Amino acid sequence: MAAAYAAKKSGAETVILLERDRHAGGILNQCIHDGFGLIRYQEALSGPEYADRAVAEAENMGVEVLTSRHVVKMSADRKVTAYCSEGIEEYAAKTIILATGCRERTRGNISIPGSRPAGVFTAGVAQNLMNLHNVMIGRRIVILGSGDIGLIMARRLTLEGAKVLAIAEIMPEPTGLARNVSQCVYEFGIPLYVRTTVSKIIGKRKLEAVELSDLDDSGNVVPGSERRVECDALVLSVGLIPENEVAQTANIRLLSNNAVDTDQYLQTSIRGVFSCGNCRRVMDLADYVSEQGEMAGRNAVRFIKGDPMEIWDEEKSNCMKKGFPESDTITCTVCPNGCQIKWDEDSQSYMGNGCRRGTVFAEQERTDPKRNVTTTVVVKGERQSLRPVRTKTPVSRDEVLQVAEKLRGISILPSSKIGETVFTYQSKAGEDISVITTAGK
């Protein structure tokens, strides 16, 4: 969306965006948690809110957004073939920008021994089922891998009333962002075991249990460390792979990890074909994905005009702190830096923050921590239809589970619009907290 917007804004006569799904916005439509837009929009938005703004920006600029288009191939002379309900469509372009995202590694990619029962999901599939289709994947959950989607799903499952029994990670530290370890795991008391793996899946038709085992420094199972954990769902958060099947049809050069090999201008091995976002490199932050997309869009127009192109700053791909939060610190979430802030009793001041906003955040965290609650509610008359919602203002951290439980019992009208108040929660302090929708019909 950002690439299309920037290309049109830079003077491209016609910009067509081909989207496989029925709705534009990509994976953000199922990412109902907040934290998006801190750089781009200077506020914390949910995924659907961020996507809604990106779609509006592109369409208002004059981008032609065509949904339900499955692109099957492209050629080195910049021709694209797509399938749709009307048949086969072909497009000839002066430039092409690939923004096909990434996919999850599956059980097959990591070869977990055992049977093949129902109840094993990748984190993204679990997120899709819960947030878009009102399908609860289980009640007693084990998560393998501490990638960000897995950490976020640990919190999401907890808010929906499930019990996350364990998060197992083969590395010596979590692979997700420190802010997610702090707010999605520690705050809910979810056990996180490092140097641990699922060594066996147990069950015939349905998952009955998994076997967890400790790993030594070489990554081998420690004999005698196996223990059985009874569960009805296993969620895999074991990494992402750039999605580049369309690029391969044109023999675009890929790296060993399936990422597109580009130059500093985001141009692929085929002149006039650019790549941006997670299909080029898996990135931590949607804001930087959008920024990179915009540069790809501008460079595509510069290529057509024969003008000098911009250079991408590679440091923006992955810049945030990952792994365990530092001990006795507060992980700041007001910007993507994720500063580790510590209160110093001797000086009666905060240390480690990079800006004044970090001090304000840390003081709030130390004295009265608050959180936005994001979840989904049922649409009246449509049991399989959900609408994402969030608290308009934060609630006390101690009341998060209570708010989530209240929201599980409400339903909203199909006509509810984005930003509309659909419920009011009265906090223990007597404050009325508005709950708003974060996606329209």
Residue range 54-73, pLDDT digits in tens: 999 999 999 999 999 999 99
Out of 3.50.50.60, 3.20.20.150, 1.10.1370.40, 3.40.190.10, which CATH number does the structure's domain 106-238 have?
A: 3.50.50.60
pLDDT value of position 318: 62
CA 283, CA 279: separation in Å to the nearest integer?
A: 9
**pLDDT < 70 stretches in the chain:** 317-320, 383-384, 441
Q: Around Cβ 223, how many Cβ atoms within 10 Å? A: 9
For the chain, the helix, strand and coil percentages under 3-state DSSP, each to the nearest 5: 25, 30, 40
What CATH number labels 2-103+241-316? 3.50.50.60
For residue 381, give the 3-state DSSP assignment. coil
CA 423, CA 434: separation in Å to the nearest integer?
A: 6
Give 301's Cβ-side CA count (13 Å radius).
18
Planar angle of CA 292, 295, 297, nearest 5 degrees: 110
pLDDT value of position 441: 63
Q: Give which of 120, 61, 71 is closest to 91, Cα–Cα.
A: 71
Q: Would you say 326 and 332 are in contact if contact means Cβ atoms under 8 Å apart?
A: no
**Region at 155 (left for phi over 0; alpha for psi -120 to 50; beta for the rest):** alpha
For residue 55, give the 3-state DSSP assignment. helix
Beta partners for residue 134, in sequence order: none
CA 350, CA 353: separation in Å to the nearest integer?
A: 7
Q: Would you say 341 and 362 are in contact if contact means Cβ atoms under 8 Å apart?
A: yes
CA 388, CA 360: separation in Å to the nearest integer?
A: 29
Which part of the chain is CATH 3.50.50.60?
2-103+241-316, 106-238
DSSP for 281-336 reads S--S-HHHHHHHHHHHHHHHHHHHHTPPPP---GGGSS-S-BSSPPTT-EE--SST
Residue range 166-221, pLDDT digits in tens: 999 999 999 998 889 999 999 999 999 999 999 999 999 999 999 999 999 999 99
pLDDT value of position 331: 87
CA 331, CA 325: separation in Å to the nearest integer?
A: 7
Q: What is the pTM of this model?
A: 0.91
CA 423, CA 404: separation in Å to the nearest integer?
A: 12
For residue 256, give the 3-state DSSP assignment. coil
- In a 10 Å sphere around its CB, with 0-12 CB exposed, 13-18 middle and 19+ buried, how is residue 41 labelled? middle
